[in-house]
Structure 1
Amino acid sequence: MHRTTKSARAALFAVTAFAAATAYASAAPIAYVTSETNGVGVIDLSSMALEKTISLGTSGPRGLSLTSDGKRLLVAGKTGELIAIDTSTGEVVKRVTIGKNPEFVRVHGGYAYVTYEPGESGAPPEAKQGAKPEQKTDQQAEKPGEKQAGKGHDDDDDANSPPAEIAIVDLKTMKVLRSVKSGHETEGVEFSPDGREMLVTNEGDDTVSVYRTGTGQPLRTLKLDAGSRPRGIRASPDGKQYVVTLENTSKFVVLDAASLKPVKTVDTKLGPYGVAFDPSGKHLLVAAARDKTLQVFDAKTYEHVADVPVGQRCWHFSFTPDGSKLMLACGRSNAVYVLDASNYQTISQIGNLPLAWGIVTSPPSPGSIESAK
């Protein structure tokens, strides 16, 4: 079997990155935010204003990702589809049947990896139409003890339901090549620094599963503490470690990238989910959703640096392409919070985004769902 050397892989990644940068060069910077009841919000990053909303009907969009050339936005619709949107027109150009309740989408190496959960109902929670940021309806209120009951979602499945699966979609043909079994309630998706492995967190099984990219071949599974519910996962900038957030035990665990053995566990505020490193690689950011807090840690030592108050149910976030701002999708606040990336202080809120869920930018930048290409 032919083996690609590290230098050859590095050269390939450099060429890919250059091609992506060239494709994005002429486009104005924007952010895409999925709103579970409204569609996809398009934010002009120059004015930090909601420019328009792309309606997707009753699709209930959640996860999203851009193709490497920026020409297509891929959105997971809770109705069972991967929806491809032409970014130049905002029109839906393709719908690919995936399976029940698709949630996460990650693009890598010419494929889209889409997690879906046959055991879930797939119906998004209700949002009060026209609700202002920070307003909260009765349906949106989190019940006391919900975390202890193991409910990290509005519509989680249970241990007796079918496990989640990962559909691998060829981006040239927009057809599902194969689906692979995962654990229960598959959440975060990350790729190894060399691009050869995909890691996913399974909160219902308290595991991290590892697969071969492209083929989906299962390689190994790491069992974490029972009841910890792993959610977000991100590789460190030097590629030597992975950070996994544990929602129910309010911690994150640092794994050695080669062995997947835990090397450090760090306490967080309640309900950590989204996790990412900042563009400089100096800080690790964790969205502690249940405490309405964005936490900042030193990226080398993992020592706590700061806590930043944010909105309600802020699961996912992304930096702007120039790295000057941080944007958090806050679902229960029906808004995106905009922070100054130099001091993490809130600058503004962008409303009219009911049940905001995921956020990515064009050109790409580091975030809890997507990494900069």
Structure 2
Amino acid sequence: MRTPMLRTSLTVMLSALSSLALAAPFAYVPNEKSGTVSVIDTANDTVTRTLTVSERPRGIAIAPDGSRLYLTNSPTEALIVVDLASGKPVDSWKLGDSPEGLYISRDGKLLAAAVEEDNSVALLEAATGKTLAHIKVEGENPEHAVFSPDGKWLYASAEDAEQVDVIDVAAMKQVGHIPVAKRPRGIGFTPDGSRAYVACELADTVFAIDVASHSVIAKIPAGKFSNGITVSPDGKRVYVSNGKDATVMAIDTASNTVVGTVPVGKRPWNMAITPDGAKLYVANGRSDSVTVIDTASLKAIKDIPVGSFPWGVVIQ
């Protein structure tokens, strides 16, 4: 009797492991006005869960192991920690007045939050919420503070600035800035960390930056109110959302030229791409939807209704 039971148990275990291995990643979308996070199964592009997380979630990051979501919440000036197994908030860590973009280091150890009214970037331990520093930046009303892949740098953008502020993570201070154009918004690094791309909203331009020298090497014309930036996993393309045009453009990083434009919903904002680079998910802030783009054909393949005022997307 033991042998058939053992075989049955092994079959069930292998089947479960196989299902987990084949499970598509999930896209998490903070809905600023609804106070929720929509969870999208990227295998079938449907919302499978809606998490009630906070009053006004904006910035979002996810632990590398997929166990936790981290969100900024403006009304309580806090970072909200959500346990994904239960779907419930389990902690709240103070940040400062009007926190926006939130990013996690590749190793999952550090969180960086842009705190608008404080003109600072808050650096925290992801495991404990311990505040390591409030790093003052030159740009007023910082919105994004993005880690380089090696975790050495944070590049910070601000609404009232014409520069990208450079933060040395180990020293926990700003060590320089890179002149760009008015209102830098989204920032993305290539996977090898050699370049960063920054969208400047009021200049309708994407700036390519050489990270080694912290200097601009190309200016790429984009659409009106260019803001969100996402880089493909292979580093061959950069995607920029254009808020006023309701489009997303694809930029070839070899030539730093636009190779395609895709219509999406109203006021496209922040975005994320699947780990295989096959699909791009775009938060449409004024359409209450997420547009799914097939990156091979550069065509929109689905619009997914979510909550009110989606701010961005993370995928894990």
TM-score class, shorter: 0.7 to 0.9
Q: Which runs of 5+ in 1 are unaligned?
A: 1-23, 119-162, 363-373
TM-score, structure 1 as length reference: 0.74
Q: Which residue of 1 aligns with 2:157?
A: 201
Tell me how far 1:72 sits from its aligned partner. Answer: 0.8
Tell me how far 1:238 sits from its aligned partner. Answer: 4.0
Tell me how far 1:237 sits from its aligned partner. Answer: 3.8
256-265 vs 268-277, which moves further? 256-265
Q: Which residue of 1 aligns with 2:252?
A: 298
Amino acid at match of 1:99: G
Amino acid at match of 1:72: R
Check if 1:313 corresponds to 2:267.
yes
CA distance in 2, matches of 1:342, 1:76: 33
Deviation string 1:50-83 (CA, Å, 9 cap, x unpaired) is 11211134x2001100112221100011121100
* Cα distance change of structure 1 residues 314 and 102 upon mapping to structure 2, 3 Å threshold: same
CA distance in 1, matches of 2:284, 2:72: 18
Determine what percentage of the aligned residue pairs are the same residue: 31
Check if 1:102 corresponds to 2:99.
yes
Check if 1:42 corresponds to 2:39.
yes
Tell me how far 1:84 sits from its aligned partner. Answer: 0.3
* Cα distance change of structure 1 residues 25 and 99 upon mapping to structure 2, 3 Å threshold: farther
If asked which structure has higher relative contact order (CA below 8 Å, sep 6+), I would say 1
CA distance in 1, matches of 2:247, 2:73: 28
Deviation string 1:156-199 (CA, Å, 9 cap, x unpaired) is xxxxxxx5211111123222222111221212322234321111
Q: Please point out which of 183, 191, 197 is paired with 1:229.
A: 183
Q: Which residue of 1 aligns with 2:126?
A: 171
Equivalent residue pairs, number: 292
Q: What's the secondary structure of 2:244's corresponding residue?
A: helix
Check if 1:331 corresponds to 2:285.
yes
Tell me how far 1:95 sits from its aligned partner. Answer: 0.7
Q: What's the secondary structure of 2:59's corresponding residue?
A: strand
Q: Which runs of 5+ in 2 are unaligned?
A: 1-19
In proportion to residue count, which structure has more strand?
2
Q: How does 1:21-40 map to 2 (within 5 A)?
A: 29-38=25-34, 39-40=36-37
Contact kept, 8 Å, 2:52 with 2:88, in 1: the verdict is no
Check if 1:89 corresponds to 2:86.
yes
Q: Which residue of 1 aligns with 2:16?
A: none
TM superposition outliers: structure 1 runs of 4+ over 6 Å:
none
* Cα distance change of structure 1 residues 96 and 215 upon mapping to structure 2, 3 Å threshold: farther
Q: Which structure's CA Rg is the greater one?
A: 2
TM-score, structure 2 as length reference: 0.87
CA distance in 2, matches of 1:98, 1:199: 19
Check if 1:75 corresponds to 2:92.
no
Q: Please point out which of 125, 130, 136 is paired with 1:181.
A: 136
Amino acid at match of 1:165: S
Contact kept, 8 Å, 1:42 with 1:51, in 2: the verdict is yes
Q: How does 1:139-178 map to 2 (within 5 A)?
A: 163-178=118-133
RMSD of equivalent CA atoms? 1.9
